[in-house]
Structure 1
Amino acid sequence: MRHTIEFDHENKWVLTRFRGPLLIDEAVALLKTSVSFPEWSPAWDRIIDYSDGLLGDLDVEAVQRGKVALGEVLSAAYGGKPTLSAQVCADPIKLPLIKYWIGLGDGDYPAGLKLFDSIAEAQAWILASRAAR
């Protein structure tokens, strides 16, 4: 699969990088895969990087369907535990769809769901948010 999952054991977050065309079914499958790894824990936060992803095949209906499917996986995996979800994308062409995605899911992340231009900014936000708890 061209998309990747990276576990950072020291910082306890999962970094998912989308590369190439992104389909909702692939995003759901990737999340299911990440929560099935032995090193995964519901205490881990998530960073999702769309920088190299191609979102041209996604439409509003696919995004809405994805929210439902991903929500079911997240609910089962995290059991309602509040975690942070950092979305990364600096591409102005992709931003409207990513912002729409965040708007759909914002209420599902009481701990936080935010958009960043870089992975480093996302990592800093997660660390600062944890320190403030």
Structure 2
Amino acid sequence: MDIPVGTTLKRTMTVGEEHLASRVGSGGLDVFATPAMIAFMEGTALKLAQDFLPEASSTVGTLVNVKHVKASPLGATITCETTITEVDGRRLVYEVKAFDNAGLIGEGIHERFIVDCEKFMSKVAK
């Protein structure tokens, strides 16, 4: 399994009511919630790695260090750009950025670990 450093994936989404801070409980305003932005970043990182992994493997998030620097309204188009910056055995480090039509809204570092799905779930069940 080789995941080249520098590999990048971009994905887009539209801010719906289910993504608002007022709806997810992270704030009282009708703006794109920080937890929703982080989930989109994590999902993009997961998708990026998944294309390189064996079928019985996946990744799990272990670290998120992200700043949410600008609010985005309901209906905004959000683009997440995720780049692998380090591969250290099973540990993957990503640079994550999110943008709306006006520019950067969030950025940071995210780490994931490669796991064998069956072994991982067996340990969780114990």
Q: Normalization by structure 2: what TM-score?
A: 0.26
Q: Normalization by structure 1: what TM-score?
A: 0.25
Instruction: Select the structure that is richer in strand.
Output: 2
User: Which structure's CA Rg is the greater one?
Assistant: 2
